[in-house]
């Protein structure tokens, strides 16, 4: 059985990797075309657009893997069916469940690699890509993972540790320098809220430096006029979809502790936690689809069906995220709902497959 598992596993893995490469190449090409619309803004040129697209590839690979797993399993398993190998294996007494077990083992190998990429490689790569792009376009705003967002406004340097929903900021540091590049005022505000015309800083601590030494004062709130408007900050805000599981847990807890809604982040968190189940369901779904197909079904037809199912599932996941916010659907249900529907479909097909 180990030989059979290795043979089926290698067939599924090689087909899935091939499909994944093709899908990533196609989606990367369209992403590059989309970035061409921004070329010419600031110092953003074709070379920098290429760097941005390449840096976004790990996150794209993570998103496309379930679809690639389904299509790859259909191609690999379908090829074995067309060559009569599945028929011989079944005639040798190998059960349907044993075939599913071999297919799942193959998918699990790739799943572990992709999960590690999605947790440790994709988030920092995506942050670098967004930072690289926004610096080129705006020439003012930068991002550093350990120290938040940085910007320069005339002789002032601004550091924002957290950007919250609803045009709010947390831990804002403003360093003002004189014309001789000497620090004259340091300001820290616990919160900042945009009123539509200007920012209002709250719980302020200021340190003034002059020839007489240091002077400190505290203010309950004060108005702050800055180049950093909400529309500009939204360009450098990291999308929840691009955060790691640990970051999502941390940020969701922070929002709830401060009276903010964390539904969008909770949805993405549950989506990532259910990612292994989703992938396994996609791989398992390929087995009854192939076993129930007649010998006249071509590989191209299987790829088309798998592509439509994978694309439909992808769109369902995206729609569920927006619907959960609009209709206040519990995140655990909105995130796992599409996977549960696919699981039910796979189970139904398996029970009706001889």
Among 233, 265, 294, where does a domain finish? Answer: 233
Examine the domain organization and report whether 116 and 257 are in the same domain.
yes
Examine the domain organization and report whether 225 and 288 are in the same domain.
no
Examine the domain organization and report whether 222 and 265 are in the same domain.
no
Residue 260 — left, alpha, or beta (φ > 0 → left; ψ -120 to 50 → alpha)? Answer: beta
Examine the domain organization and report whether 132 and 248 are in the same domain.
yes
Tell me the residue range of the domain where 211 lies.
143-233
Among 233, 263, 283, where does a domain finish? Answer: 233
**203 has a pLDDT exceeding 50:** yes
> Whole-angstrom Cα distance, residue 341 to residue 354?
22
- More confident position, 135 or 192: 192
Examine the domain organization and report whether 219 and 246 are in the same domain.
no
Examine the domain organization and report whether 206 and 253 are in the same domain.
no
Examine the domain organization and report whether 132 and 152 are in the same domain.
no
Examine the domain organization and report whether 222 and 251 are in the same domain.
no
- More confident position, 163 or 63: 63
Average pLDDT, the chain: 84
145 pLDDT tier (thresholds 50, 70, 90): very low
Question: Tens digits of per-residue pLDDT, 67-89?
Answer: 899 999 988 888 888 888 888 88
Examine the domain organization and report whether 186 and 169 are in the same domain.
yes
Examine the domain organization and report whether 135 and 149 are in the same domain.
no
Among 233, 267, 292, where does a domain finish? Answer: 233
**90 has a pLDDT exceeding 60:** yes
> Whole-angstrom Cα distance, residue 180 to residue 160?
25
Per-residue pLDDT at 165: 63
> Whole-angstrom Cα distance, residue 247 to residue 258?
17
Assess contact for 248 and 265: CB atoms under 8 A. Answer: yes
**DSSP alpha helices (H): ranges in 83-219?**
85-91, 96-116, 122-138
Domain count, the chain: 2
Question: Tens digits of per-residue pLDDT, 318-335?
Answer: 788 777 777 778 888 888
Q: Which of 52-56, 278-282, 291-295 has the highest mean pLDDT?
A: 52-56
Per-residue pLDDT at 197: 84
Question: Tens digits of per-residue pLDDT, 17-49?
Answer: 999 999 999 999 999 999 999 898 888 999 999
**315 has a pLDDT exceeding 50:** yes
Examine the domain organization and report whether 8 and 124 are in the same domain.
yes
Average pLDDT score over residue span 294-321: 76
- Which residues are bridge partners to 264 per DSSP? none
Examine the domain organization and report whether 284 and 206 are in the same domain.
no
Q: What percent of the chain has pLDDT over 70?
A: 90
Those residues with Cβ within 8 angstroms of residue 25's Cβ, 6 or more apart along the chain or in another chain? none
Phi and psi for 312 in degrees, rounded to 5? -60, -40
């Amino acid at each position: 059985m180990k030989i059979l598992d290795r043979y089926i596993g290698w067939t599924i893995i090689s087909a899935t990797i091939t499909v994944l490469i093709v899908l990533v190449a196609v989606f990367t090409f369209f992403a590059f075309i989309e970035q061409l619309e921004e070329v010419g803004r600031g110092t953003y040129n074709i070379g920098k657009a290429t760097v941005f697209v390449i840096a976004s590839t790990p996150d794209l690979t993570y998103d496309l893997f379930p679809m690639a797993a389904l299509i790859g399993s259909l191609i690999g398993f379908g090829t074995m069916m067309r060559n009569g190998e599945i028929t011989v294996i079944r005639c040798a007494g190998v059960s349907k469940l044993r075939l599913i077990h071999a297919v799942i083992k193959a998918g699990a190998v790739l799943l572990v690699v992709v999960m590690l990429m999605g947790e440790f490689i994709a988030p920092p790569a995506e942050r670098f890509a967004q930072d690289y792009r926004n610096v080129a376009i705006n020439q003012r705003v930068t991002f550093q993972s350990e120290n938040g967002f940085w910007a320069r406004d005339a002789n002032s340097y601004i550091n924002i540790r957290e950007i919250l929903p609803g045009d709010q900021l947390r831990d804002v540091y403003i360093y003002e320098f004189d014309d001789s590049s000497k620090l004259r005022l340091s300001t820290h505000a616990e919160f900042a809220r945009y009123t539509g015309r200007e920012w209002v800083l709250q719980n302020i601590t200021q340190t003034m430096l002059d020839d007489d030494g240091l002077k400190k004062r505290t203010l309950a709130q004060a108005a702050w006029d800055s180049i950093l408007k909400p529309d500009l900050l939204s360009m450098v805000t990291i999308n929840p979809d691009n955060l790691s599981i640990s970051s999502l847990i941390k940020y969701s807890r922070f929002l709830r502790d401060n009276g903010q809604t964390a539904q969008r982040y909770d949805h993405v968190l549950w989506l990532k936690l259910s990612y292994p189940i989703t992938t396994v369901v996609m791989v398992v779904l390929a087995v009854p689809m192939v076993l129930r197909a007649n010998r006249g079904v071509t590989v191209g037809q299987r790829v088309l069906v798998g592509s439509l199912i994978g694309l439909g599932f992808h769109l369902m996941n995206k729609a569920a995220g927006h619907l959960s916010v609009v209709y206040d659907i519990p995140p655990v249900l909105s995130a796992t709902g599409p996977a549960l529907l696919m699981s039910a479909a796979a189970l139904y097909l398996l029970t009706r497959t001889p």
